[in-house]
């Protein structure tokens, strides 16, 4: 351990010796995976893209997505997506 400290003092680039200077790997922050949030983000992007591609026509967007019109309306409401028709009112 003493040799490790001496080496760290000799090789450190600043006035402070860090754990990496001592040869200890810093712990990486665990990356959290949130499948529900990722799915919601993807759903919103796909719904917005389909509605935009069909100039706000919900029936055509629903058909493009393989959904029924009422299901697409439910998702639009669930995710608070504003359509062109809603913006003009």
DSSP of 52-72, one letter per residue? HHTTT-HHHHHHHHT--HHHH
CA distance 65 to 63: 5
Q: Which two tokens stand for residue 12?
A: 């450190």
At 32 the pLDDT is 77
- pTM (2 d.p.): 0.60
Enumerate the domain spans of the chain: 1-30, 32-89
Q: What pLDDT is recorded for position 69?
A: 98
Query: What's the pLDDT score for residue 8?
Result: 64
Report the half-sphere exposure of 81 (CA within 13 A, side-chain side). 24
* CATH for the stretch 32-89: 1.10.10.60
- Average pLDDT per run of 10 along the chain, which is 89 residues long? 65 68 66 87 95 95 97 96 66
What does the pLDDT read at residue 40?
93
Query: Which pLDDT score is estimated for 35?
Result: 92
């Amino acid at each position: 351990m003493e040799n490790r400290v001496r080496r760290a003092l000799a090789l450190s680039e600043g006035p402070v010796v860090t754990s990496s200077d001592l040869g200890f790997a810093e712990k990486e922050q665990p990356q959290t995976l949130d499948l529900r949030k990722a799915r919601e983000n993807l759903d919103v992007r796909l719904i917005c893209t389909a509605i935009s591609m069909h100039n706000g026509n919900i029936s055509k967007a629903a058909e493009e997505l393989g959904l029924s019109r009422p299901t697409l309306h439910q998702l639009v409401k669930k995710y608070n997506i504003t359509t062109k028709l809603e913006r003009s009112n």
